[in-house]
Structure 1
Amino acid sequence: MTHIIADISVSLDGFVTGPDPGPDNGLGTGGEALHTWAFSDDPDDRRVLREATARSGAVVLGRRLFDLVDGPNGWSDESGYGAGQVGKPAFVVVTSSPPESMRLTDLDRTFVTTGLPDAVTVARERAEAASSAGGTDLDVILMGGGATVGSALAAGLVDVLTLHLAPTLLGAGTPLFTGGVPGTPAQRSVTSTSTATHLTYDIL
């Protein structure tokens, strides 16, 4: 069965970027500390990353995040979604208008201009097709940015919430939670490492 999983790194004070994020500073000032775990040699951090990317049948992201990963300092074969871990899943981008050109021309990408719920529906269809083709259950991963994940939570579109809680305080930036979240989070698992506490909740 395909689940919709929101998966994002967050600071102790609830921010998914540092202050002043922008095209040349996507994570904001100090925001790199949120993702230290993803580059860690700790075996538990590596396992969390490996398991998350392996279950990715389709990935949803907002236009701002897409512009960052497609930008000149964005993803490459060495640094990108699941680099060295998994083949490239389908990417579904929520946007008001598709870009006129792209740097990452090898991405399997779909641009959805009719809103986040429709993007999640498209991603679910892609993940279910990948599940059937591969003979294994794959999920939809909502990777961000923060506004996209927050909106999905507020709209009740999320089945599972995975937070990578970084031991850092940013003081300002992009908050993850800006409103109520329908449903009740039920803790499924906790994994603590030197770089993060990995928390997974079922949204009931």
Structure 2
Amino acid sequence: MTRIIADISVSLDGFVTGPDPGPENGLGTGGEALHTWAFSDDPDDRRVLHEGTVRSGAVVLGRRLFDLVDGPGGWDDETGYGAGEVGTPAFVVVTSSPPPAVRLAALDWTFVTTGLPDAVTTARGRAEAASTSSGKDLDVVLMGGGALIRSAFDAGLVDLLSLHLSPVLLGAGTPLFTGAVPRTLVQRSAVPTSTATHLTYDVL
């Protein structure tokens, strides 16, 4: 069965970027430390990264994050989603206005202008089709940014939360859950490494 999984790295004080994020500084000041685990040689970090990308049938992201990954300093063959891990899934972008052109034209992009629930529905359809084609269950991964994941939680769209808790205090930045609608979570796993604690929760 296709699940909707929110997957994001967060600081100990609850931020998914550092202060002053922007087009030239996507993760904000100090925010790169949130993703140290993704480039680690620790076997547990590598396993978490592999398992997270191999289950992806479709990925949902917001327009600001799309502009970062498709921008001049964004993804390439070595740093794109699941680079070196698995084949690339379909990408669904929530936006009020699709871009006039896409730099990463080799990737499968769909732009949804009718809101997050419709984007998730579109991504679920793509993931289910990929599941049928591959013969294994694949999921929809909400990769962010923080506002998109918080909105998905508030709308009751998330089945599972995958948090990568980085041992850093950023002090300010983009908060993940401040002001969120209350939800009950059930912890399913905790994997500590030298660079992060990888936590998964069922969302009730």
CA distance in 1: counterparts of 2:78 and 2:87, whole angstroms: 13
CA distance in 1: counterparts of 2:177 and 2:198, whole angstroms: 18
- Whether the 8 Å contact between 1:60 and 1:142 is mirrored in structure 2 is yes
Q: What's the counterpart of residue 175 of structure 2?
A: 175
* Aligned residues: CA RMSD: 0.7
Q: What's the counterpart of residue 10 of structure 1?
A: 10
User: Match of 1:130, as an amino acid?
Assistant: A
CA distance in 1: counterparts of 2:11 and 2:156, whole angstroms: 23
Which SS does the other structure have where 2:24 is aligned? Answer: coil
CA distance in 1: counterparts of 2:99 and 2:144, whole angstroms: 18
Deviations 1:18-66 (A, max 9, x none): 0000000000000000000000000000000000000000000000000
CA distance in 2: counterparts of 1:180 and 1:31, whole angstroms: 22
Aligned length: 204
CA distance in 1: counterparts of 2:116 and 2:10, whole angstroms: 21
Query: Does 1:101 find its partner at 2:63?
Result: no
Provide TM-score, normalisation by structure 1. 0.99
Provide TM-score, normalisation by structure 2. 0.99
Q: What's the counterpart of residue 141 of structure 2?
A: 141
- Whether the 8 Å contact between 2:150 and 2:180 is mirrored in structure 1 is no
Q: What's the counterpart of residue 188 of structure 2?
A: 188
CA distance in 2: counterparts of 1:185 and 1:30, whole angstroms: 29
Query: Does 1:59 find its partner at 2:59?
Result: yes
- Whether the 8 Å contact between 2:2 and 2:127 is mirrored in structure 1 is yes
Which shifted more, 180-189 or 79-88?
180-189
What are structure 1's unaligned runs of at least 5 residues? none
What are structure 2's unaligned runs of at least 5 residues? none
Q: CA deviation at 1:155?
A: 1.0
Percentage of matched positions with identical amino acids: 80
Q: What's the counterpart of residue 164 of structure 2?
A: 164
CA distance in 2: counterparts of 1:22 and 1:88, whole angstroms: 26
User: Match of 1:146, as an amino acid?
Assistant: G
